[in-house]
Amino acid sequence: MDHGRDHSAASPDNAEGALAKARREIVELEAKLAAAEKARHHAESAASAKEQLAAIGELSAMIAHEIRNPLTIIGNAVATLRKPLTSAEDRSVLFGILEDESRRLNRLMNDLLSYARPVSLQLSAVNVREVMERSLSVLPPHASIEKELFEPEPVGRVFADAKLLRQIFENLLTNATQAMGREGGILTVRILKAERRGEPCVDVVVEDTGEGMDTSVRDRALLPFFTTRPTGTGLGLAIVARFVQAHGGSLNIRSAAGKGTSVHVVLPVFEERADG
């Protein structure tokens, strides 16, 4: 475009002047931009510090609540044990309570550490079926629960942390067993080949014929400390979700009250079949 101003800018003096002005303006703009960026960063970190504090406050309140119960029970038991007239029989019951409650506190602490500690994966080529078989074998024996394990076609190995995988499976198997209660039922595990966004995956399905979950329980099941069981910490599924996520996998729960539950853990396969 041939504007009059461009003609005057053609003289070297004018051109240099205009260039110097443009440089000054750029420097000013840069300074303003830096100041704005600093203000934005400041506002953002203030907001995230506030959010972090709120989250810590909420978690602390939940932990305090979880610890207070066993501590109160322990305190009461000790007070009764101190009384000279407490019978030998009562003493033995009270010692049992002390044991149970300290075990509960210990479990809470371990679960909390599993849930809150940063996950650092020790990856190796893992045979999912072998890990599942081991997890099934340590389930407490239950006369009226029938256990079934299917792997219709070999899924090969996944690149995973075997220890965490075992913890994932054990939590799910324990939940399934507890959901079937005394009546028992069928616990079915399926290890299936699957695909997610075109990538090969393993879909590990843990299915029970237990009490199932209504939508309000289902919606809260993954929240830390949510439990409907008297001795639960409510961290089991929260830990499972965290570990699955750390593996780049996904967790999906299908359940209906009275109709049992199936939990899908989908893990990416990083290494095609290499086992013999």
Ligand X SMILES: Nc1ncnc2c1ncn2[C@@H]1O[C@H](COP(=O)(O)OP(=O)(O)OP(=O)(O)O)[C@@H](O)[C@H]1O
Name the site residues for Mg ion (rule: CB under 5 A).
175, 236
Dist CA 189 CA 249 (whole Å): 18
Closest approach of Cβ 58 to ligand X, in Å?
17
Closest approach of Cβ 104 to ligand X, in Å?
10
Sign (positive or negative) of CA dihedral 76, 81, 86, 92: positive
Site for ligand X (CB under 6 A): which residue of 81, 147, 190, 232? Answer: 232
Q: Does 207 bind ligand X (CB under 6 A)?
A: no
Dist CA 55 CA 61 (whole Å): 10
Q: Does 212 bind ligand X (CB under 6 A)?
A: yes
Q: Does 165 bind ligand X (CB under 6 A)?
A: no
Report the residue number whose CB is nearest to ligand X.
236
Question: Are 244 and 127 in contact, with CB atoms under 8 Å apart?
Answer: no
Report the residue number whose CB is nearest to Mg ion.
236
Closest approach of Cβ 111 to Mg ion, in Å?
9
66 versus 268: smaller Cβ distance to ligand X: 66
Q: Does 266 bind ligand X (CB under 6 A)?
A: no
Size of the site for ligand X (CB under 6 A): 24
Q: Does 249 bind ligand X (CB under 6 A)?
A: no
Q: Does 48 bind ligand X (CB under 6 A)?
A: no
Q: Does 209 bind ligand X (CB under 6 A)?
A: no
> How far, in Å, are 49, 58, 175, 238, 262 from residue 215 at the CA level?
34, 24, 17, 17, 14
Cα of 119 vs its chain's centroid, Å: 10
Site for ligand X (CB under 6 A): which residue of 70, 128, 233, 244? Answer: 233
Q: Does 210 bind ligand X (CB under 6 A)?
A: yes
Query: Helices marked H in the chain — which ranges?
Result: 4-8, 12-82, 88-116, 128-137, 162-180, 215-220, 236-246
Q: Find, among 272, 132, 123, 276, the residue nearest to 199 by Cα.
A: 272
Cα of 164 vs its chain's centroid, Å: 11
Residue 210 contacts which entry, Mg ion, ligand X, none (Cβ below 5-8 A, type-dependent):
ligand X
135 versus 261: smaller Cβ distance to ligand X: 261
Q: Which residues, 6 or more positions from 159, have their beta carbon under 8 angstroms from its beta carbon?
A: 123, 124, 125, 126, 269, 270, 271
